[in-house]
């Protein structure tokens, strides 16, 4: 029996960003799929509606892959795919599999010989690199830095050294309600000549993207509280 295809479906990064996020091909694809694997069913249904879903939502089968379901067997997520039905994988924001637990679903799909098709859409890390002015030839995303202040300070200095040694852009992030604390630690521990790009609420109505030296950032006051933000360091 022919297996189905796993489509990786990007979703908006911010409120009121649907028209920036959904391509015509994505709209066509979701109107041919009736099964989804998602992080949050409520928000997934809202994204599908915003994207132009014409299929009645009552006809959809949605598998919850939220944080409380991870670690369980992956078999239930693949029953439709293994019998020939196409399935959509959706993240909570941005692209599935990038800084996202959906990577586990994608890895299992490859193990099972299932075709994986990534759709074009917003990704905060890629868009942050694009708009930073830093190297797009060599970059590394580190996810979350340590919470412990001493360990975090050490890590920030390590990332500076890596950037200088390899001429490599260093990207990282924080839980939005701790953004201001992270920024304080960056400004305290990074060298004044190191370049920092702050890319906040990408695609949102109050999108903020700015690059300048740490020394210049120390003279400014910005509030990143509860705003999804990517931080990028580059030291020459």
Residue 71: its pLDDT value, please?
Answer: 66
146 is written with which tokens? 């340590």
Statement: residue 93 has pLDDT above 90: no
Q: What is the CATH number of the domain that holds 152?
A: 3.30.950.10
Tell me: do 16 and 108 sit in the same domain. yes
CB-based contact 60:87 (threshold 8 Å): no
What's the whole-model pTM score? 0.93
What span, in angstroms and rounded, lies between the C-alpha atoms of 76 and 105? 11
Tell me: do 32 and 92 sit in the same domain. yes
Name residue 90's beta-bridge partners. Answer: 9, 38
Average pLDDT of span 33-46: 95
What span, in angstroms and rounded, lies between the C-alpha atoms of 96 and 136? 21
The predicted-structure confidence for 109-121, as pLDDT tens digits, reads as follows 999 999 999 999 9
The predicted-structure confidence for 10-21, as pLDDT tens digits, reads as follows 999 999 999 999
Among left, alpha and beta (phi > 0; psi -120 to 50; other), residue 84 is: left
pLDDT category at 31 given cuts 50, 70, 90 is: very high
Tell me: do 108 and 170 sit in the same domain. no
- For 222, residues 6+ apart whose C-beta sits below 8 A from its C-beta are 183, 198, 208
pLDDT category at 70 given cuts 50, 70, 90 is: low
Q: Which helix (H) or strand (E) holds 81?
A: helix 79-82
What span, in angstroms and rounded, lies between the C-alpha atoms of 83 and 90? 20
Residue 68: its pLDDT value, please?
Answer: 61
Tell me: do 113 and 129 sit in the same domain. no
Statement: residue 229 has pLDDT above 80: yes
Name residue 169's beta-bridge partners. Answer: 139
Domain count, the chain: 2
Average pLDDT of span 21-45: 95
Tell me: do 31 and 102 sit in the same domain. yes
122 is written with which tokens? 């917003």
Tell me: do 131 and 101 sit in the same domain. no
Residue 1: its pLDDT value, please?
Answer: 80
Task: Tell me phi and psi for residue 209, to 5 degrees.
Answer: -135, 120
Name residue 200's beta-bridge partners. Answer: 208, 229
Residue 146: its pLDDT value, please?
Answer: 96
Name the strands in the sheet holding 139-144, side by side, starting at the edge strand that comes first in the sequence.
Answer: 139-144, 169-173, 229-234, 195-200, 208-213
Residue 116: its pLDDT value, please?
Answer: 98
Tell me: do 95 and 135 sit in the same domain. no
Q: What is the largest CA-CA distance in the chain?
A: 64
The predicted-structure confidence for 150-199, as pLDDT tens digits, reads as follows 999 999 999 999 999 999 999 999 999 999 999 999 999 999 999 999 99
Q: What is the mean pLDDT of the chain?
A: 95
Domain limit, last residue, from 95, 118, 141: 118
pLDDT category at 69 given cuts 50, 70, 90 is: low
% of the chain surpassing 90 pLDDT: 91
172 is written with which tokens? 């990282």
Is residue 195 classed as helix, strand or coil in its secondary structure?
Answer: strand
Residue 32: its pLDDT value, please?
Answer: 97
Other CB atoms within 10 Å distance of the CB of residue 55: 13
Tell me: do 111 and 151 sit in the same domain. no
Average pLDDT of span 120-131: 96
Q: Per mean pLDDT, which range of 95-99, 167-171, 197-201, 209-213 is the poorest?
A: 95-99
Domain limit, last residue, from 72, 94, 118: 118
Tell me: do 110 and 213 sit in the same domain. no
Query: Can you give the residue range of the structural domain that contains 196?
Result: 124-234
Q: What is the CATH number of the domain that holds 79?
A: 3.40.1010.10
């Amino acid at each position: 029996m022919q297996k189905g295809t796993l489509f990786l479906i990007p979703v908006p990064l911010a409120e009121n960003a649907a028209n920036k996020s959904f391509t015509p091909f994505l709209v066509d694809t979701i109107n041919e799929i009736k099964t989804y694997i998602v992080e949050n069913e409520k928000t997934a249904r809202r994204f599908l509606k915003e994207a132009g879903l014409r299929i009645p939502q009552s006809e959809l089968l949605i598998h919850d892959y939220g944080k409380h379901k991870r670690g369980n067997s992956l078999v239930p997520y693949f029953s439709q795919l293994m019998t020939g039905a196409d399935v959509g994988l959706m993240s909570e924001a941005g692209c599935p599999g990038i800084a996202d637990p959906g990577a586990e679903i994608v890895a299992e799909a490859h193990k099972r010989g299932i075709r994986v098709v990534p759709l074009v859409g917003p990704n905060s890390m890629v868009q942050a690199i694009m708009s930073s002015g830093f190297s797009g030839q060599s970059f590394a995303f580190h996810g979350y830095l340590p919470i412990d202040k001493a360990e975090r300070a050490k890590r920030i200095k390590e990332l500076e050294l890596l950037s200088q040694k390899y001429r490599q852009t260093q990207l990282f992030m924080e839980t939005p309600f701790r953004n201001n604390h992270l920024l304080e630690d960056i400004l305290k521990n990074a060298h004044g000549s190191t370049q920092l790009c702050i890319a906040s609420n990408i695609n949102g109505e109050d999108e903020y993207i700015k690059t300048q030296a740490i020394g210049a950032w120390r003279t400014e006051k910005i509030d990143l509280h509860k705003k999804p933000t990517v931080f990028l360091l580059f030291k020459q």
